[in-house]
Amino acid sequence: MSAPSEQKPIIGFSCGDINGIGIEIIIKILSDNRILDICTPVVFGNNKAINFYRKQLPDYNFNYSSIKDASQINPKQVNVFNCWEEDAVITPGVMNEIGGKYAIASLTIAAEALKAGKIHGLVTLPIHKKNIQSAEFNYTGHTPYLKHLFGGGEVAMLMIAANMRIGLLTEHLPVKEVAEFITKEKIISKLQVINDSLKRDFCINKPKIAVLGLNPHAGDEGLIGKEEIEIIKPAIKEAKMKDIFCFGPYSADAFFARGQYEKFDAVLALYHDQGLIPFKSLSLGEGVNFTAGLKGIRTSPDHGTAFDIAGKGLADETSTRQALFSCIDLINNRDEFRSQRKNPLKKMSRNVVANAVDEKISEE
C-alpha cells in the first residue's frame, strides 16, 4: 500500500454496538462531503443497519458505496463494507446479545483489515463491555483485544486532547485490584511505550512525562501508603536511566487543580478514574482514545454507547470527528518519523563525505 503522504489515507470505522449511538454518529460525520477531501472512509457494518439509522436522520444527506471486499474501495465515496448479510433486529437503547454480536463482527473484520494494511487507520465506535463477552471474544474492551491481535506487545491507553495527554497504567480493573497490579516493571514498561509514542506519533523529540501517585497526597512520605516510596519512585529513577524524561510521583488532586499537566507532554495515571475524570472534565468534549504502542493506528471517541439517547438523533459527534482528525494526523506523523529515519547508513555516509570536503577546503 502506498504511504499516506502519497494518497488520501483509508480510514476504517467499526460501527460499535448497533443499538447504541455509533452508527448515528458515523452518519453525521460522513455526511459532510469535505471529509472525502482528506480521507477515504470505510464503514465496517451492514447496509440495512446503516439505512435503519439514516431514515431517522432526514436532515443528513448520507450516500455510500456498498462493498464486500477491500479491493472495491471507492476513493470518491463513503464505503460501507458489509460484515454480515442476515437481518439484525435493531432496538435502539437496548443492551442485548444482538448489539454485542454485531459490534464484534464489525470490530474484528475492521481490525484484521488494519493489521493486513488494507486500511491506514481505524476509528472504533463504542461497544459495551458486558454484551460483547463470548467464548470467541473474552476481552474487557478494544485495547486488550487489539493488543492480542497485533502480537501481544505492550500498549498503552493514551487519552489525547489539545491541552493534555493522559496514559493509564491500569485500564478496566476493579479498584480493589489496582494496588496489586502496580509494580516497578509495569510502570517502566508503560513509560517506555508512552515515551516512544510521543516521539514517533506526536513528533516530540524529548518528551516530559509526569507520573501520578497512588495514594492521597502521594502517600505523604509513607504515612498514607508505601507504594510511592517502595515502587513508584524507584520506577521513575530507573526509567530516567533509560533516557525517559519523567517526574513524580505527584498528588493527583493538586496536580490537576493547579494546571501542572500543562507543563508536561503526557501524564501517567495509575488507574482508570484517576486519569479519566480530569481528562473528560478538562478536554472540553474533544477527547480521543489512542492505543499507543500498537503497530496500527487506532483511535476512538472518549464516550460510551449512550443507550439512553440512542435512536433519538441527539448524539454529539464532536469526539468522534476529533478521533478521525487525530487518526489522520497520527498516520502522517508516523509516516514522517519513518521517512526521517530511512536508510541511516546512507545519510551517515553523506555526512562523512561532506565533512571530508569541508576538511579539504579548510586545509587549502
Kindly report the length of the chain: 364
The residues, any chain, with a CB within 8 Å of residue 281's CB and separated by 6 or more, are none
CA distance 40 to 34: 11
Pick from 40, 30, 36: nearest CA to 2: 40
If you ran DSSP here, which 8-state letter would residue 35 be given? G
Q: Which helix (H) or strand (E) holds 40?
A: strand 40-45
Fold match, 7-152+292-364 / 163-282: yes
Residue with cell 517502566: 188
Pick from 159, 125, 150: nearest CA to 294: 150
- pLDDT in the model for residue 338: 85
Distances (CA, A) of 6 to 120, 121, 226, 336, 342: 12, 15, 53, 12, 16
Distances (CA, A) of 326 to 54, 119, 159, 162, 319: 26, 15, 11, 10, 10
CA distance 96 to 264: 42
- pLDDT in the model for residue 215: 93
Q: What is the pLDDT along the chain (364 residues), one digit of tens a residue?
A: 333 445 899 999 999 999 999 999 999 999 999 999 999 999 999 999 999 999 999 999 999 999 999 999 999 999 999 999 999 999 999 999 999 999 999 999 999 999 999 999 999 999 998 999 988 899 988 999 999 999 989 999 999 999 999 999 998 889 999 999 999 999 999 999 999 999 999 999 999 999 999 999 988 888 888 999 999 999 999 999 999 999 999 999 999 999 999 999 999 999 999 999 999 999 877 899 999 999 999 999 999 999 999 999 999 999 999 999 999 999 999 998 888 877 665 545 545 545 554 555 445 4
The residues, any chain, with a CB within 8 Å of residue 213's CB and separated by 6 or more, are 219, 227, 228, 232, 248, 249, 250, 251, 252, 270
Q: Which helix (H) or strand (E) holds 166?
A: strand 164-168
The second-level CATH assignment, the architecture, of 7-152+292-364 is: 3-Layer(aba) Sandwich (3.40)
- Strand, coil or helix: 128: coil
- pLDDT in the model for residue 341: 79
Cell numbers describing residue 22: 455509533
- pLDDT in the model for residue 4: 41
Give the number of C-alpha atoms closer than 13 A to the C-alpha of residue 273, restricted to the C-beta side.
4
User: Domain locations in the chain?
Assistant: 7-152+292-364, 163-282
- Return left, alpha or beta for 313; rule: phi > 0 is left, psi -120 to 50 is alpha, else beta: left
- pLDDT in the model for residue 63: 94
For the stretch 162-219, pLDDT in tens is 999 999 999 888 999 999 999 999 999 999 999 999 999 999 999 999 999 999 998 8
Residue 20 exposed, middle or buried by CB count within 10 Å (0-12, 13-18, 19+) = buried
Q: pTM of whole model > 0.85?
A: yes
292 backbone dihedrals φ, ψ, rounded to 5°? -75, 140
Q: How many helices (H) and strands (E) are present in the chain, helices listed first?
A: 12, 12
For the stretch 316-363, pLDDT in tens is 999 999 999 999 999 999 998 888 877 665 545 545 545 554 555 445
- Strand, coil or helix: 182: coil
Helix ranges, the chain (H):
22-30, 47-54, 97-115, 142-149, 175-181, 184-202, 227, 233-241, 252-257, 272-282, 318-340, 344-363
**Identity of the residue numbered 162:** A
- pLDDT in the model for residue 342: 76
**Identity of the residue numbered 249:** P
- Return left, alpha or beta for 117; rule: phi > 0 is left, psi -120 to 50 is alpha, else beta: left
- pLDDT in the model for residue 218: 87
Query: What's the fold here for domain 163-282?
Result: Isopropylmalate Dehydrogenase (3.40.718)
- pLDDT in the model for residue 286: 85
Q: Which helix (H) or strand (E) holds 292?
A: strand 288-292
- pLDDT in the model for residue 216: 92
26 backbone dihedrals φ, ψ, rounded to 5°? -60, -45
- pLDDT in the model for residue 260: 96
